[in-house]
Amino acid sequence: MRFHRLQNVQIALDFLRRRQVKLVNIRNDDITDGNPKLTLGLIWTIILHFQPSSSEDPTRD
């Protein structure tokens, strides 16, 4: 089961790298092992990367 979790996380990290998300010092085993600092850092990085900027909002004047 651990192998499958590692592989799934690696697929997700590869996807993020292809989308030019900066992943610094984050490996699949860090996330699989439940490292809270790196997991929260990854989540925050994803939020910041995919958050639309206010200039992209067509409803704003």
pLDDT in tens, 41-58: 999 999 999 998 876 666
Please check the confidence at residue 24 and state whether its pLDDT lies above 70: yes
CA–chain centroid gap for 15, Å, is: 9
Q: What is the share, in percent, of the chain residues with pLDDT greater than 70?
A: 89
pLDDT of residue 10: 98
Structural domains in the chain plus CATH codes:
2-46 (1.10.418.10)
- Return the structure tokens found at 22: 């900066």
Query: DSSP code of 20?
Result: T
Total-model pTM? 0.80
